[in-house]
A and B are shown apart, each in its own frame.
Chain A
């Protein structure tokens, strides 16, 4: 029996590097995603601290315009593509197969490929820092500022190539999880019984599948304009910079929901667990998520009210945008009603989940304000929008991701995080977050535009900017507390046991960390919250039949593969070649073809995975 399959995540990592490079285990890939994207999260946070240092005082000359423009571009791009989105992917990877009672994802090697492409894309994006030519046209990269004429130098080339690699990674992941969720649910798990987190992931993966292609089209146009002299976005030649805005926002508004729906799903798992009640109105929560997904494709032009699309288009996009507030409001009230009548245990995951409800509500309401185009004409491109988007993406997504981290940590690593440090982390984050971002509402309404590296001292903005800087450093301090928590509990944390929270869903029915094969015997599902039903019964006290003890049947485990990392590495060589020499493009391209060939034919040589006999 091969040893790799019985190997558990989080144990003996140091001397088993190879097993991590070739792993196809969804749990380990989840850990890789989580670790990598958390490093990028810290990097993007550091970038924001540098910006806040520059903006702490008016007319500051600490950081020049070039560095500042690179910082805000990289902060936005990194947070969206390399931090918040893949942090969700980390939970998706780790938890979805466990939540649906599966042994792995549908395509384990493809899953590994997604991760390595993500890492390669993240490295490529950040190579610019090493060469002193980081991207500098904003995460939205509006044409025609991005043309060779106005952006000479390789800054944006890094950005274009990296984002396309990240797009491939996301689309592969989306295909994988759509197939996994639809086909690999445990017997008995009806679609509407799936945990709401899984539902939100399913909606999100459809959004990824549909939203990334328009971005890719835009990126290819832009790449052709820059590399080969086409004129898609050149007004002088009959091209149109506005085309970019449409293509970009048709991607980027659904992207906002790609960033928020999985966190909403996490909240929908955490709150029922700590209220000891099922999610209130789960079907409604699912329909609301689907409705948000559909509507997200019809609202892109609300980012373009100042562009001059005309009153009819502005009115239409305004009203569709307002519609999104309805399913979102339903979600918030249903979460509160889940708490209502519950037996609420205040633990770190719940603190962060409650932080999500409180802060996201505020971000949603400021969003309704600029859903109204005339109001938006004052607020768009001002710090008011910076405040709004951070209330949604930090107050929303990031709080929920921390809720998920505290919630699933014991399952992932088998040890509890420290509760007291967790609460300090929460309160410091909540206070720092509000000190940093609330003043930005005021700054925007006092006329401060976004993306300015400096401002005049006599505009009444000085105090609010100073406060925002102080808040940003408080957030930085809160992250140190989290890191301290991780370091401390890695050695001395309380062993978690299989079910530390009195959980409701299937992942809590197995050991922590789970064995490589997850379930020794695939569970049969009898209703929503199957594990809770087994422990406590339904309201009439009826319990599903006890699962039959694991039969000593052999389990097929997918073997590790080095092809995913080879494909990603070769592609990276080719991409970097675009910025250096044509020869390297050719070599990288050849290597990519060869490794894809190896990847595709691997199972012809080794049709079955190794068998594992569970010990229990």
Chain B
């Protein structure tokens, strides 16, 4: 078992079974449909056009390649979408380093060669993103290969194992054929995904958002810079955009749709499920910089006569954000807001206690309260959530502290 670099193989002379040099390696192909890492064939430029040297006919690979078959038996190469071409698709291109959570450029690709029976098994094991790969390629052909090898030994490697690499491919059909699904990426924290996405060019951003799970996409979208967010949603198919927006917090969704050009937000709203659409439309009607524009309509309210157990039942069924459950609001006759119970008090109380006994003085504001006053209320009363009540004293939504923090950070 040994490691051979893609840049060493490219341009290497190829000898067939007769021992005669038949051509040079031009490309190396992996067919992800058949095997995720195994080299499917080498593309050899011969006097008689480009030929495919199948992986099971490779006897040795290094500064020169030996084949176990005659050149006459190698099939002619015709370009196809379904294979990953290591030089074209990887070398010098950007990839996502899942482990390091960033976008990096590939300097070289490392292959592992294992002798099996009479041939060699070549597998992609890692990509080199450090100085070692760069120096190897820059000095190739200028420095004798043994000197080079000795020199490269001294450079600490910076490689990313293949399983932590997500390729960027903007063509959706090809993405399917190459089985690129951004599974690794989707497992990261949405805030990390957002950082990565912000480093990508627009087409690649779109590719990521077309592919990853809607829920992850929605959470990531909420973490993005407003400009980037708008650009991404505009570039997406309206159907897909609606699926993602449905998964977002209604207040974040309303903010986003409010930033989009009107025709675009209308199209997205049209594609959304009626229930989500109604919530978002309501929020959209308020000014963006008021309490109502910042609030979410997904919160927990129960009757003041309910007991702790009831509240816990409601909590279990609640689908809104985690921030919103910090306070449970109590309503009296006519759905008027009468009290607020912090989650901690429920957690430590016994199941049969009536909620009104646990209630604390609450802070509320009117829907048209300017956002600066909202922030001042949070500051003054050390709030985690703030209720927004209408002119009849009914609670119409809540603002959570995380909304206030991002509001303060993105104030123009």
Chains A and B belong together in one complex? no
* B contacts, CB < 8 Å to A: none
* A contacts, CB < 8 Å to B: none
